[in-house]
Amino acid sequence: MAEVRLDGVTKSFGGKTVVDDLSLTVRDREFLTLVGPSGCGKSTTLRMICGLERASAGQIYFDDQPVGWLPANKRDVSMVFQSYALYPHKTVEQNIGFALKMLRVPKDEIARQVREAAGTLDILDLLDRRPRELSGGQRQRVALGRAIVREAGAYLLDEPLSNLDAQLRVLMRAEIKRLHVDLARTFIYVTHDQVEAMTMSDRIAVMKDGVVHQCATPDEIYARPANRFVASFMGSPPMNFLTRERVVLGIRPENVSLSVTPREGHEPGEVFITEPLGADVLVTVRLDGDLIKARVAAPFHLGHDRTIHIGLDRTKLHYFSVEDGRALEEGKAS
């Protein structure tokens, strides 16, 4: 099994629809991320693919074979949970090999596969430890090892890094991305963190209120968002928005320029706040009642409430409908 396809999938709980008529294809060996705010339906979608939830309507296909009626243990997938879900009384070796033991794989083969998975994740020296003796990052590696040892057709990861500190998240992002390359399998990843989605994925499906608002490559989503929600959710810091008559203008902070002296095409504003980021500084400027963020090179020493001149790169402007937030072509913005 390599391709996963959802066709008109809907899920409701007690009359509330949390996934609404979702159609989506995850390609063979693709790394696809479902991203969106809490409650958008991304984890429920993953659980339906896995078989832990039954769809209220629609069908799920693995390589064109319907699997909506199959229980989780009959689907060719392996899942990594946010909570790690390790057995506290078992060693790392026993945790990783547990699924193989349930499948009655011979002991010698279990030992071989466990060591191979542990070697891939650089935890061979931890096989005799128990979960309480491990750090958060080590526990996450064990959870990944338990998943990959099954050699499933697709790996499903439900916010696996949310319990880790910021530095460890960066490290684990790279390790999971490399793991996808090494395994050459289909990965479906769920997160609310747009940085994880942008840095790890082949494609991103941006969800809100149970609906996919855009599914595309990270570059396309960042450069050509389908609507104002996608534009605001994907990007750190988020896109600036300015309402002008019948259109909303959007501009990324890196496409905003600042000058301490008057310049052609720049308007005077006031420095509201500055946020040093190391090599860059995020400067928030008050302009005609709006607050606009600009990412500029460090150092930046102009104080709060001082006059600053702000310019927008007109070639990088985005246009959105005031009524429904959909992206507009420049020529149709007026």
Q: Which residues contact 44 (CB under 8 A, 6 or more apart)?
A: 11, 18, 19, 53
Contact status, residue 194 vs residue 234, Cβ threshold 8 Å: yes
Contact status, residue 233 vs residue 307, Cβ threshold 8 Å: no
- pLDDT band with cut points at 50, 70 and 90 for residue 64: very high
- pLDDT at res. 168: 82
- pLDDT at res. 246: 86
Q: Burial, 208: exposed, middle or buried (Cβ in 10 Å; 0-12, 13-18, 19+)?
A: middle
Residue 278 has pLDDT above 90, yes or no: yes
- pLDDT band with cut points at 50, 70 and 90 for residue 332: low
Q: Mean pLDDT across the stretch 14-34?
A: 97
Residue 202, number of CB atoms within 10 A of its CB: 15
Q: Mean pLDDT across the stretch 284-293?
A: 95
Domains of the chain: 4-225 (3.40.50.300), 237-332 (2.40.50.140)
**pLDDT tens digit sequence for 183-207:** 899 999 999 999 999 999 999 999 9
Alpha carbon 262 to chain centroid, angstroms: 41
What is the total residue count of the chain? 334
pTM: 0.91
117, containing H or E segment? helix 107-120
